[in-house]
Amino acid sequence: MPNLVTNPGSALEAIKTLNDSLPEYPGLADRLGQAHAFYVLEEAGGPLFGFSKFVGYDGLSPDDYLRDYKSLDGRNTEHALSKWFDELRFGSPAYEDLFEKLTIWLAEFGKRPRGGDAQKVRLMVLRPEFREPTSSADEDRRLLELMLAVADILPANQRHELRAAL
């Protein structure tokens, strides 16, 4: 049994490995529609997605995953990944944006998100404190993202009041 990831860098590398491996491993692509939660790596060219049973194990290769996936435990990986990732709230603008991108990405492999529109998958994003800022503009963006997240949980009347004040 492979070891669980012990740092966010390993999880992010696993997301890249998964995405790079999908064209060569149709069996891996076949598993995409089974995921309950996707972990997101924001890249300049758009988000990359990975599922916990792959992303949550350190150095897991596509061959290892395909050989052992029945014995791998997504509950353990989701627990390990929860130290570095937060779940986006269903219906939030950030969730809807990434869900649309996930749906488009999965369609490239002939898949769709598990449960369809009735039971949407969970989307997990790297916590701000684990992101690497590349410029001062990224720092400003993190503050904006925090403000949007706070505004998103306000009741409708308070959101309108906030918009009017801005």
Based on the domain organization, do 124 and 94 belong to the same domain? yes
Say how far apart CA 60 and CA 3 lie, in whole Å: 9
The per-residue pLDDT for 44 is 85
Q: Is residue 49 part of a domain?
A: yes
- Tell me which amino acid residue 126 is: L
Quick one: 118 and 161 in the same domain? no
Q: Are residues 123 and 48 in the same domain?
A: yes
The answer on 159 and 83 residing in a single domain is no
pLDDT of residue 166 exceeding 90? no
At residue 119, the pLDDT reads 65
Predicted confidence at residue 77, as pLDDT, reads 92
Question: HEC string of the chain?
Answer: CCCECCCHHHHHHHHHHHHHHCCCCHHHHHCHHHCCEEEEEEECCEEEEEEHHHHCECCCCHHHHHHHCCCCCHHHHHHHHCCCEEECCCCCHHHHHHHHHHHHHHHCCCCCCCCCCCCCCEEEEECHHHCCCCCHHHHHHHHHHHHHHHHHHCCHHHHHHHHHHC
Confidence bin at 135 (pLDDT 50/70/90): very low
Q: Is the pLDDT of residue 14 over 60?
A: yes
The pLDDT tens digits for 141-155 are 777 788 888 888 889
